[in-house]
Amino acid sequence: SEVKWEMLGKLAVRNTKRNLKDYLIYLITITISFSLILAFNLIASSDEVVKLSSGMDSFKNVLTFVNIIIVFVVCFLINYTTRFMFEKRSKEFGTYMLLGIKKKEVARLLVMENILLGFLALILAIPLGFLFSQFVSLVIVKLLGIPEVIFISLNLISVGLLVIYFLAIYVLVLLNLLRRIRKMTVHDFLYFDKQNEKKMFRNNKKRNIIFMVSAILGISSLLLWNSRCSFENFSDESTMTYLMICVIMLIISIYGISATCADMLLSILLKSKKMKYQKDNLFVTRTFASKARTMSFTFGTLSMLILLSLLCLNFSSIYKGLYQTSIELTSPYDVEVFDWTQPFDDFNEYLDVIDEDYTINETLEFNVYKEPKHQIQDYYDVQFYDYDPVMKLSDYNRLLKLRNMDTVELTEDEYFLVTDSQLLYKVEDNADMQTIQFANKELRLKGIDTKSFWYSMNNTGRFTVIVPDEYVQGLEISEEHLIVDTKEETTAKLEEKIQNNLKHLLIVVDENGESHKEYYRVSVRGTVIEEQNTMTAIMASICLYIAFILISAVGTILAVQSLSDATKYKYRYQTLRRLGVNDRSLFKTIKKQLLILFGVPVVYSIIASFCMLASLNNVYKVLLANEFIYLFYFAGGLAIFFFIYGIYWIATYIGFKRNINEES
């Protein structure tokens, strides 16, 4: 028994070395995948990184969810490649069985080979993941605007977690492979690599129907997606249901088109004698069609992964595009404090705390008044208050000057409305709002502004009515606000200091004797910038993490398929050489084959991602620099995608040529 295990071990090592050349791209990809998983686990478990910002605490939770997705993708990649390697070597395993080696021992041999390959990737991933973690921490520090460099230490918990992921993936993959082997006979082994090579659709009519239905489903899903991507529909509870239906329809469409496109391309070419016999068109198309018929489901899965990677890249860009707008909406002034209790607190204590560490340039106090007729708030469907928040024109103009904005002039019969750009649709072009009754007078709407709005402009947070100063006389004050402009840039430490030193003002005891923290009444711009930087760093790094893994998985599967075919179908290229095709023309044909193979899964994904991004732009355009900037985000995402994808294509092309030359 020991001799048998020793023999199997030597054979496994020899086979692993022999096949390493063909599956080098696969080994590199799973090594990088495991190293990235380790790198982000090291970042999330680092106390130094978590201390950078209060928002970094959520990094662990987000990363856990992301790692679940990544583990599934890596599991799919390894399972597919392992199954593919088994298929290509099934004749070899069948020969072993004819020589007297039992099926159980063949299974052990295959398991040992995969474990050796996996452990090699795991061993390489640990030092590489450690290096990646230093790079990711540097990116996060730069995005947070922190001058010092943070060193990420290697810890056993993160390494142990990586080992758990590794074991879980390989146990699932190898159990599935063993289940397949148990059901096979010697005949199955010897002819396994040929049993799937058959025409999927013997009936062209059936194929055409499936293609048309899939195309209609895809178009319908994108149109439905577009119809729900608006401010009006986003507040509708049914929108999420509709979007889920869109995603399901799109998935069905992608798989349907992937299953039929190869036959469609071949039938179109064969109908045209001019195209069919022109140069190498027939050879290239038949080669692609024979490949696509055996991996139509895989093409659908690859298209899904590409679509998801493009959406991740685009979402990362959109999130970075929202950066400045989010800060201006949350905290446009250095320090803001408001009070809605009565009697109102004195703001001098806040000023004293700020003055200890900062030079105060200017302070501004203003009131928000209640207009009891609530003529406008009904349009916002607000249930928590029954009045319109009102501000004096002079106070509003002072706020505008502090932000270097143009001031507003109102006549005695005019009013002005300030609201959130995302809620503008509720009141824009509303005939009922052209005039309102105010202080027994009729006021006309002069205009609506969204640029000067910020969320805590008043506690209701949706809109403010601006009227001439004299019209607020006699109105009840609902809130008092303090705005402070400082010479130095504020930091999150100031907000923490205010919360600690002025707890007696910010912790309120209700009628039941329960204490409530009202820290939301204080807003410091430095805190908002830090939180926004944190979220931008998290979202940008994680989206790129997901996109890179997905693109690499797609590139690896196509590369392994192509390089194996270079050996399996070497006689095709030898025949072309015997017919007088020179190397330059032959390599041009190979290049065309690989372009089609790598390009087919991409086309539908690019179209779908562009349509989905354009629809989402209907929602985000009011918060971005301009309504067409999403085109630059889309182009940038494509550039990153094709850069990584192109590396795999080039590596495959070089490996393909090498295999052809070696076999000639």
* Tokens representing residue 359 in the block: 């030079």
pLDDT at 197 over 50: no
In the three-class reduction of DSSP (H, G, I as helix; E, B as strand; rest coil), residue 260 is classed as helix
Note the pLDDT of residue 583.
Answer: 75
pLDDT at 531 over 90: no
Structure-token match 């930091």, residue found: 491
List CB contacts of 360: < 8 A, sequence separation 6 or more.
351, 354, 484, 485, 486, 487
Band of residue 18 on the pLDDT scale cut at 50, 70, 90: low
Task: Select the more confidently predicted residue: 31 or 439.
Answer: 31
Residues 647-660, mean pLDDT to the nearest whole number: 85
pLDDT at 482 over 80: yes
Distance separating alpha carbons of residues 535 and 58, to the nearest angstrom: 9
Long-range Cβ contact pairs of 187-196 (< 8 A, separation 24 or more):
187/94, 188/90, 188/94, 189/90, 189/91, 189/93, 189/94, 189/97, 190/90, 190/91, 190/94, 190/95, 192/87, 192/90, 192/91, 192/94, 193/87, 193/88, 193/90, 193/91, 193/568, 196/294
pLDDT at 486 over 60: yes
Note the pLDDT of residue 567.
Answer: 67
Residues 526-545, mean pLDDT to the nearest whole number: 82
Distance separating alpha carbons of residues 432 and 160, to the nearest angstrom: 65
Beta partners for 464? 418
Note the pLDDT of residue 234.
Answer: 65
Beta partners for 368? 479
Note the pLDDT of residue 448.
Answer: 93
Task: Select the more confidently predicted residue: 368 or 152.
Answer: 368
pLDDT at 485 over 90: yes
Structural element, H or E, at residue 12? helix 2-20
- 439 phi and psi angles, rounded to 5 deg: 50, 45
Torsion of Cα atoms, 447 then 452 then 453 then 459, to 10°: -110
Task: Select the more confidently predicted residue: 606 or 277.
Answer: 606
Band of residue 664 on the pLDDT scale cut at 50, 70, 90: very low
Band of residue 480 on the pLDDT scale cut at 50, 70, 90: very high
Task: Select the more confidently predicted residue: 564 or 568.
Answer: 564
Output the pTM of the full model: 0.81
Average pLDDT over the chain reads 82
- Each residue's pLDDT tens digit, 30-89: 888 889 888 888 877 777 766 666 666 677 777 777 888 888 888 888 887 777 777 777
Note the pLDDT of residue 7.
Answer: 63
DSSP 8-state code for residue 403 = T
Strands 463-467 and 388-392: parallel
Note the pLDDT of residue 6.
Answer: 63
Sign of the dihedral defined by the CA atoms of residues 443, 393, 473, 375, in that order? positive
Residues 537-550, mean pLDDT to the nearest whole number: 84
In the three-class reduction of DSSP (H, G, I as helix; E, B as strand; rest coil), residue 102 is classed as coil
- With vertex at residue 535, the alpha carbon angle to CA 530 and CA 537, rounded to the nearest 5 degrees, is 90
State percent of the chain over pLDDT 90.
26
Band of residue 248 on the pLDDT scale cut at 50, 70, 90: very high
Distance separating alpha carbons of residues 114 and 16, to the nearest angstrom: 8
Beta partners for 438? 441
Question: Highest mean pLDDT: which of 172-181, 470-479, 566-575?
Answer: 470-479
pLDDT at 281 over 60: yes
* Tokens representing residue 145 in the block: 């605007």
Give CA 290 to chain center in angstroms.
Answer: 34
List CB contacts of 29: < 8 A, sequence separation 6 or more.
77, 552, 553, 555, 556
Task: Select the more confidently predicted residue: 7 or 258.
Answer: 258
Exposed / middle / buried, residue 75 (Cβ in 10 Å: 0-12, 13-18, 19+): middle
The Cα diameter of the chain in Å comes to: 104
Judged by phi (left if over 0) then psi (alpha if -120 to 50, else beta), residue 430 lies in beta
